[in-house]
Amino acid sequence: MRKMLLAVLYTAFACGANIGLAQAGSVDGLLTGDMKKLALVEPVAVPAAVLLDGEGQESGLDQYRGKWMVLNFWATWCAPCRKEMPALQRLADAMPEIAVVPVATGRNDVGQIVKFYGEAGVTSLPVLRDPKSGLAHQMGVLGLPVTLIVNPEGQEVARLIGDAAWDSAEAQAVLKAMMAE
């Protein structure tokens, strides 16, 4: 119950923080299309978490520190995730300076992830799993998909709940503007 309350409060804070930050930043005018759902937040450190890679080896997000990251929480059973994943691959192809990092949350068999990636045309995104949803719970992820924009210091600076066309001109313009600030 306490974790659920914290997750709700975190999400409410993240959504409420959008108003002041969007008005102050150069990103405000770029929040069109799917990016209207993007909530800008006060920087919040992404906690260290032990994730598993496709071989079952421990991995973490520290390997992406120093780069902007599009951190996507998803699952193989999630219909909107199936729609969104090809756009994440195309974003990774179009903007290689950004780390596009999908994290399969909950029970996601590696074989099912590989099958999902094949069906979605994913060729270069990492296979990372959060099998007990530890990171997802710490970050207040209540549904899927959820995508966080993480700055090079490892802090969440924006959150989008639901799927989005991450390969769109609008999304790329927002990401470029954030990187320029």
Q: What does the domain layout of the chain look like in residue ranges?
A: 2-180
**The pLDDT of residue 20 is above 60:** no
| Phi–psi pair at 83, nearest 5 degrees | -70, -40
Residue 19's pLDDT band, with cuts at 50, 70 and 90, is very low
Residue 166 has pLDDT above 80, yes or no: yes
> Can you give the pTM of this predicted structure?
0.86
In CATH, which superfamily holds the domain spanning 2-180? Glutaredoxin (3.40.30.10)
Q: How many CB atoms lie within 10 A of CB 69?
A: 21
DSSP 8-state class, residue 94:
H
Q: Are 14 and 39 in contact (CB under 8 A)?
A: yes
In terms of Cβ atoms closer than 10 Å to its own Cβ (0-12, 13-18, 19+), residue 96 is: exposed
- The percent of residues above 90 in pLDDT, for the chain, comes to 83
- pLDDT tens, 127-161? 999 999 999 999 999 999 999 999 999 999 999 99
Q: CA 181, 145, 44: angle at the middle one, nearest 5?
A: 40
Tell me which residue of 77, 81, 72 sits closest to 51, measured CA to CA: 72
Angle at 22 between CA 142 and CA 18, to 5 degrees: 25
Place of tokens 């059973």: 77
